Structure 1
Amino acid sequence: MMAMSGLSEEVLRWAVGAVGGGVRVAAVTGLREGANPWLLRFEPADQVEAVVLRLGDPADPDHCRRFGTEVAALRVAGDYRLPAAQLIAADLDGAETGTLALLTTVLPGDSKIPPVASARRLRCLGAVAAALQTVPLAPRAALPLRTRSIADVDFAACRREKGTTQLLKAAEERLDRLPVPEGPTVFVHGDLWHGNTLWSGDRCTGLVDWDCAGAGSPGIDLSGARFDAALMFGIPAADQVLQGWQRAAGRRADQVAYWDVVAASCTLADMAFCVPAMHDQGRPDLDADVLGERRDAFLSAALARLDAEER
């Protein structure tokens, strides 16, 4: 077997063995800037047409942790039939492939973000977040307690190093004074933005990139999705996400203002840090100024609602 696109023969052999059925790798396509993760296509395609292969460095503790979380999350998602790829095989110590390797099924749809989102699409995003909160989950080693999105990045420390704004500083001080709302912990994706969703028209076909998953409040994913919708499509879009969540959950969401502040605080003062990801997902119209204005409007409104709740 010849290596393809820089993938070793050892990795390709492992992938073929995991799929089984006498297939061979016919084509390899890089899914992110022409590289990792990879789409592997097989011949004959009557058993499995394609799979997604994600690779990592077994010598990097961060990679090991992220892969372990991804595998654990995919297993939970599979047990509860949530919209996620199915786990086919994993090599979490490099014993079989010489690297970290994760093999999953391919989900239909694409993650390109449209310039305008319909109310139906936004409510569907809220409904997907609501589906996660139906799964009770106690924190565990691979799926730890989460109190915010993208929990492995210390945004407050980054702002202290790179600079902040009065509004972000006020939000940080406010959160420091408030206890984290108590309640049962549920399964959370932990990075629920449009770039981690797949769509067919206005129907969400699945969630990807589960390496920030864990156990936490439903508000983490709900407000994460609300904040992302506000950034992508404008402030009113966040309310459509909330409507979709509440309709699917059959109840009112709790502590929305608090979790909105948490979501908007998972940023840097200069929103340029996330512009490349937005452009890569098909939104070259979004720049740091637009994103900063929308972030500040969303955060200011959330802080005002917190003020009103405390009166």
Structure 2
Amino acid sequence: MVTSPVVTWLQDVWPQYRWQDADVHEACFHDVAVRAPDVVGRVSCHGEQTERVQREHRVLELLGDVQLPYDLPRPLSGVVSRSGRTGMLTSFVAGEHRPGIDWEAASTQIGNALVAFAQVTPEQWTDRLPEPRSWCGGRRWSELVHERLLPRLAPDLQLLATTVIADVLEAEKAAGVTQFVHGDFGPHNILWSGDQIVGILDLDHACLGDPAIDAASLISYYGAERVSQIVDHDVLDRAMIHRASLTLQLATAADLLGDTGLRDHALGNFGSRSRDGTLHDPGGWQPDRHSRTQRR
């Protein structure tokens, strides 16, 4: 039996848990070892990412005081950097993972979750939550795309990427509202019991920002036409603008970590979605702040 490298690392750092029995999952930026029902280990997979993991740890600490009708992971350790990796322990969140759940089964509960996010009152900690896109450069994201990604794109895609970035920044200024945002809200990060959402995972991208950011993630899974049933017109338009930038965000984060394979995959998706007319929405809808008549 071959032992996963993340299991070996966790056994060295936190030997009090039987990590050899853990269920290991590989993600873009972390390896996750789930030792139900006791503990979860989250370990960087791009070397020692101390700053990144510390930011995620701070968010989980902060959200411990937030009143949401769902279980969230809580930090159970500090952040440890050792032997080329950085990790932390979090609490186990119970529930059934249904990443392929269909819209009809999920829409009411997902809509309720968006309302719950909007009702979080952040007066005590607005200056402590990360800014939008902290995981891929934060305020420097636009600059990083121009410096590091545009030279890798064909001229027509360079122009398109510049427009996409400008549209995102303009949409955020026009939003007129900031609130708690999960940042990667979709069925892959939701846990269920029966027909109820009971837990929400992976708050790595959580921030204080435009609620359309969460709607953008939902568009990638369910399409703008369906998401229009649970958000208003203006949020939907901004969500499609945000959705057009998601591949550029992923490519920027990957480039910062030196993951050229993931970066180039994300840039390839940016180009293919542009050619297919699906950059803003898998179904081809386009943002239009004035009417829906021009949407396909």
Task: Find the counterpart in structure 1 of residue 109 from structure 2.
Answer: 124
SS in structure 1 opposite 2:95?
coil
In structure 2, runs of 5+ residues without a counterpart are 252-260
Please list, as runs of the form range in 1=range in 2, the aligned pairs for 1:230-269 lying within 5 A after superposition.
230=223, 235-242=224-231, 252=232, 254-268=234-248
Q: Distance in 1 between matches of 2:181 and 2:171?
A: 22
Q: Distance in 1 between matches of 2:134 and 2:93?
A: 25
Match of 2:185 among 188, 192, 201: 192
How high is the sequence identity, in percent, across the aligned residues?
Answer: 19
CA contact (8 A) 2:34 2:41 kept: yes
With over 3 angstroms needed to count, the CA separation of the structure-2 counterparts of 1:122 and 1:169, relative to structure 1, is farther
Task: Find the counterpart in structure 1 of residue 217 from structure 2.
Answer: 224
User: Could you say which structure has the greater relative contact order, defined with CA pairs below 8 angstroms and 6 or more residues apart?
Assistant: 1
Match of 1:51 among 25, 39, 42: 39
Cα displacement string for residues 41-72 of structure 1 (whole angstroms, at most 9, x for unaligned residues): 5xxxxxxx432111238973xx3233233323
Aligned-pair CA distance for 1:139 = 3.7
Aligned residue identity for 2:212: G
CA contact (8 A) 2:168 2:245 kept: no
Please list, as runs of the form range in 1=range in 2, the aligned pairs for 1:157-306 lying within 5 A after superposition.
157=146, 159-163=149-153, 164=157, 169-175=162-168, 180-181=173-174, 183-200=176-193, 202-230=195-223, 235-242=224-231, 252=232, 254-268=234-248, 293=276, 295-296=278-279, 298=281, 301-303=285-287, 305-306=288-289
With over 3 angstroms needed to count, the CA separation of the structure-2 counterparts of 1:84 and 1:70, relative to structure 1, is farther
CA contact (8 A) 2:117 2:179 kept: yes
Task: Find the counterpart in structure 2 of residue 30 from structure 1.
Answer: 24
With over 3 angstroms needed to count, the CA separation of the structure-2 counterparts of 1:139 and 1:112, relative to structure 1, is same
Cα displacement string for residues 165-201 of structure 1 (whole angstroms, at most 9, x for unaligned residues): 7665544444466661354532211122332233456
1:102 matched to 2:89? The reply is yes
CA contact (8 A) 2:72 2:201 kept: yes
With over 3 angstroms needed to count, the CA separation of the structure-2 counterparts of 1:71 and 1:208, relative to structure 1, is same
With over 3 angstroms needed to count, the CA separation of the structure-2 counterparts of 1:74 and 1:174, relative to structure 1, is closer
SS in structure 1 opposite 2:34?
strand
Question: How many residues are matched?
Answer: 260
Aligned-pair CA distance for 1:236 = 2.6
CA contact (8 A) 2:212 2:242 kept: no
Q: Distance in 2 between matches of 1:82 and 1:73?
A: 18
With over 3 angstroms needed to count, the CA separation of the structure-2 counterparts of 1:175 and 1:83, relative to structure 1, is same
Q: Distance in 2 between matches of 1:53 and 1:216?
A: 28
Match of 1:152 among 137, 140, 150: 137
Q: Distance in 2 between matches of 1:40 and 1:144?
A: 29
Cα displacement string for residues 235-293 of structure 1 (whole angstroms, at most 9, x for unaligned residues): 43222343xxxxxxxxx575431332123222259x9969x99xxxxxxxx9x968974
Task: Find the counterpart in structure 2 of residue 68 from structure 1.
Answer: 54
| TM-score computed with the length of structure 2 as normaliser | 0.66
With over 3 angstroms needed to count, the CA separation of the structure-2 counterparts of 1:215 and 1:82, relative to structure 1, is farther
CA contact (8 A) 2:43 2:86 kept: yes
SS in structure 2 opposite 1:133?
helix
CA contact (8 A) 1:91 1:102 kept: yes
1:140 matched to 2:142? The reply is no
Match of 1:11 among 10, 13, 16: 13
With over 3 angstroms needed to count, the CA separation of the structure-2 counterparts of 1:54 and 1:273, relative to structure 1, is closer
Q: Distance in 2 between matches of 1:110 and 1:75?
A: 24
